[in-house]
Amino acid sequence: MSANRGSRAVLDRAKSQYGLNRVVAITTPNSEASIQVLKKIGLQFERTMRLSDDSAEVCLFSTLDAEVGLAG
């Protein structure tokens, strides 16, 4: 299964089986392949952030809205 198909399946299940209204993902800023997968399945870049004071910066992506990337 490709990364795109697997990620799409997880996203779809998040809504259909678990009833999640919002899904988030993080990746490192230099992981262009991961960023492209997240964008392709409908997640949108929100911001860069640090998970703790001494951690590296990461990129936060999310569905932003319950309908983005989760519609059947």
Instruction: Tally the domains of the chain.
Output: 1
SS (H, E, C) the chain: CCHHHHHHHHHHHHHHCCCCCCCEEEECCCCHHHHHHHHHCCCEEEEEEECCCCCCEEEEEECCCCCCCCCC
* pTM of the entire predicted model: 0.79
pLDDT, tens digit, 9 for 90 and up, residues 32-68: 999 999 999 999 999 999 999 999 999 999 996 544 4
Q: Is residue 68 part of a domain?
A: no
Q: Which domain holds residue 55?
A: 3-62
Q: What is the mean pLDDT of residues 6-34?
A: 92
Say which CATH number the domain at 13 has: 3.40.630.30
Residue 70: predicted pLDDT: 43
Q: Is residue 35 part of a domain?
A: yes
Q: Is residue 58 part of a domain?
A: yes
